[in-house]
Amino acid sequence: MMEVPVESMKVFLEKKKQQGFAILGLEQTAHSIPLDQYNFPVKTVLVLGREKEGIPVEIIHMLDACIEIPQLGIVRSLNVHVSGALALWEYTRQQRQT
């Protein structure tokens, strides 16, 4: 796990893509795949956005897919650390099954 400064994000993601990583964003979009329906590749980079602002549009365009945490009711978002922990748990759960 690592933090990448926003100003270095594009270069970092391009390098990871060249290394064969899937670049995923944890974001609510019209085309997001529910977390419990997505099969994570072993080589995955998960991009988390900023609280309230989400992932910048220029980074969204670089993603292979967006995943979202299914929610019920009128809650539209979770804190970024909670969202990240849930996504990491699902990734780990899937990798342990293989």
For the segment 15-28, what is each residue's pLDDT rounded down to a tens digit?
999 999 999 999 98
Amino acid 6: pLDDT: 85
Tell me the whole-structure pTM to 2 decimals.
0.89
pLDDT digits (tens, 9 = 90+) for 32-91: 999 999 999 999 999 998 888 889 999 999 999 999 998 887 766 778 899 999 999 999
Q: How far is CA 38 from CA 15, 33, 56, 61, 77, in A?
A: 24, 6, 22, 19, 19
CATH number of 6-97: 3.40.1280.10
pLDDT confidence of residue 97: 82
What is the reported pLDDT for 75? 66
